[in-house]
């Protein structure tokens, strides 16, 4: 979006006043009144249109800015359609249930925190949703920690850490697709590049959770066993169900474009689902659009498996379009450029730009409490700065996730923070210090930039992954 040519040169006071007013409107609506982000964003768009008209900018020009802004997200929108179908098809084929079952096999009383972290990471990657992972498997694991007499704060920290690792690294995750698409980076290139900071954060977190885990004797694992039995009764757990995952991995390694990779994996999953369960054509179409519906009778399992479909992505798609429309106006009216010009002189090195973009992503999470806006606005504001320094866009998409996606559950008044504390019954302040993965990710992305490590420049000869 940095290519949008501004029609105004507003003063710094005007620009900062408008930004603060918009942040205030959005944060008050979401945090204070529990509104969905769409409504305050629409109000912000109207505010910007009014400002533009007062400045004698024609409505046609303002409309062009909105169109240019929303157009930047069309790549993400198309991927979201395929992500919705992929999730529902992986349910049909048993791919996701089989992965969840494999995760449950790891559960033992010893090293509980480390194993809980690993299991939620596996399931988070499998379903691409941190909040669903926390609300289903996370609740079961927290209950089990109570049986073992373990700390609910540490257990919650392990659950949140694993769930957001999975959300961050899953090709099924809407935040992962959004971060890559908003700056024009291939989905799987983005995921591979995130490994430079994500793998160290995972290893450090796993090690600390293992150290914190006390040795435990035999304990009742009834909650986990009931999950496994309910999964087995669905008839969805099969060895052949892993084939769509294998296809996804192989095509990713072959660097096939993300959309084609998702389409191929979806097609294979539909074929396996039809082969195993004899779905009719109309049933398949219904599942791909409206999602898979599980009817095991076990509420937690049905909640975990009933998901996917194109329709499940509408909330995210509409939010992305609205946020990008607002971003287009912010650029068209010269507001972002005015603010960036104030700090541009201090953004002359890779480390300073990465630090500033990370701080912006964190600040938006804290002020507004919305991770989508954290990703979108950070990407819009700093893409031009990364280009000026010759930094590849995948550096920015990684920062957007390291300091945007995983920080949201650490903010008590954020969307994720409120949801998680309510579902687990553990306040954010209690698990904050134990959500090690969420804490390490933004720290590592800044530290590595200061050391000049893991950065990729547009000129591939200048890669510094050492």
User: How many Å apart are CA 12 and CA 381, to the nearest integer?
Assistant: 16
Instruction: Give which of 223, 130, 114, 26 is closest to 420, Cα–Cα.
Output: 130
Q: Please state, as a whole number, how many other Cβ atoms lie within 10 Å of the Cβ of residue 314.
A: 12
pLDDT at 80: 78
User: Which residues is 120 bridged to in the sheet?
Assistant: none
Q: What angle do CA 95, 159, 29 make, to 5 degrees?
A: 100
Per-residue confidence at 222, pLDDT binned at 50, 70, 90?
Answer: low
Mean pLDDT of 106-132: 84
Q: Please state, as a whole number, how many other Cβ atoms lie within 10 Å of the Cβ of residue 362.
A: 20
Where in 214-286 does DSSP place strands (E)?
A: none
pLDDT at 221: 58
pLDDT at 258: 76
Per-residue confidence at 460, pLDDT binned at 50, 70, 90?
Answer: low
Q: Running DSSP on this structure, what letter comes out for residue 456?
A: -
User: How many Å apart are CA 243 and CA 231, to the nearest integer?
Assistant: 19
Q: Contact at 8 Å (CB) between 353 and 359?
A: no
Q: Contact at 8 Å (CB) between 356 and 395?
A: no
Mean pLDDT of 159-183: 90
pLDDT at 461: 38
Token pair of 466, please? 């050492």
pLDDT tens digits, 396-414: 999 999 999 999 999 887 7
Q: In this model, does residue 216 exceed pLDDT 70?
A: no
Instruction: Give which of 462, 466, 465 is closest to 389, Cα–Cα.
Output: 462
Q: In this model, does residue 136 exceed pLDDT 70?
A: no
Mean pLDDT of 326-333: 88
Mean pLDDT of the chain: 85
Q: Contact at 8 Å (CB) between 113 and 150?
A: yes
pLDDT tens digits, 246-260: 888 788 778 788 788
CA pseudo-torsion sign 368, 372, 377, 378: positive
Residues in Cβ contact with 146 at an 8 Å cutoff, skipping those fewer than 6 apart? 152
C-alpha Rg value of the chain to the nearest Å:
22
pLDDT at 202: 97
User: How many Å apart are CA 5 and CA 18, to the nearest integer?
Assistant: 19
User: How many Å apart are CA 243 and CA 99, to the nearest integer?
Assistant: 12
pLDDT at 466: 37
User: Which residues is 464 bridged to in the sheet?
Assistant: 455
pTM of the model: 0.72
């Amino acid at each position: 979006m940095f290519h949008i040519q501004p029609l105004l040169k507003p003063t710094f006071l005007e620009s900062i006043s408008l930004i603060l007013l918009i942040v205030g409107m959005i944060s008050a609506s979401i945090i204070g009144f529990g509104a969905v982000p769409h409504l305050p964003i629409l109000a912000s768009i109207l505010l910007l249109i009014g400002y533009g008209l007062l400045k004698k900018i024609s409505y046609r020009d303002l409309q062009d800015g909105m169109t240019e802004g929303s157009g930047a997200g069309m790549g993400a929108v198309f991927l979201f359609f395929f992500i919705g179908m992929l999730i529902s098809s992986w349910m049909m084929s048993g791919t996701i249930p089989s992965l969840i079952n494999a995760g449950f096999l790891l559960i033992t009383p010893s090293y509980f925190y480390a194993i809980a972290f690993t299991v939620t990471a596996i399931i988070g990657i499998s379903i691409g949703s941190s909040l669903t992972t926390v609300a289903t498997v996370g609740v079961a694991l927290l209950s089990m920690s109570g049986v073992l007499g373990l700390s609910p704060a540490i257990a919650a920290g392990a659950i949140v850490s694993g769930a957001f690792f999975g959300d961050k690294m899953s090709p099924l995750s809407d935040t992962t697709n959004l971060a890559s698409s908003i700056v024009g980076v291939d989905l799987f290139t983005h995921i591979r590049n995130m490994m430079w900071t994500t793998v160290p954060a995972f290893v450090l977190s796993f090690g600390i959770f293992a150290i914190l885990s006390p040795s435990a004797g035999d304990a009742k694992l009834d909650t986990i066993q009931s999950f496994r039995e309910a999964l087995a009764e669905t008839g969805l757990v099969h060895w052949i169900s892993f084939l769509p995952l294998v296809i996804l991995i192989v095509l990713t390694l072959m660097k096939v474009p993300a959309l084609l990779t998702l389409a191929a994996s979806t097609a294979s999953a539909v074929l396996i689902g039809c082969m195993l369960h004899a779905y009719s054509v109309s049933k398949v179409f219904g599942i791909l659009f409206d999602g898979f519906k599980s009817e095991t009778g076990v509420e937690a399992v049905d909640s975990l498996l009933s998901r996917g479909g194109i329709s499940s992505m509408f909330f995210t798609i509409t939010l992305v379009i609205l946020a990008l429309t607002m971003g287009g106006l912010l650029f068209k009216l010269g507001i972002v450029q005015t603010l960036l010009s104030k700090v541009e002189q201090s953004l002359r090195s890779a480390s300073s730009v990465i630090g500033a973009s990370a701080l912006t992503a964190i600040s938006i999470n804290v002020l507004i409490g919305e991770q989508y806006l954290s990703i979108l606005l950070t990407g819009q504001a700093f893409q031009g700065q990364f280009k000026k320094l010759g930094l590849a866009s995948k550096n920015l998409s990684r920062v957007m996730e390291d300091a945007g996606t995983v920080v949201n559950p650490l903010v008590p008044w954020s969307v994720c923070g409120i949801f998680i504390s309510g579902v687990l019954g553990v306040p954010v302040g209690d698990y904050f210090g134990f959500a090690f993965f969420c804490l390490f990710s933004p720290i590592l992305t800044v530290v590595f930039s200061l050391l000049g490590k893991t950065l990729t420049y547009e000129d591939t000869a200048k890669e510094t992954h050492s």
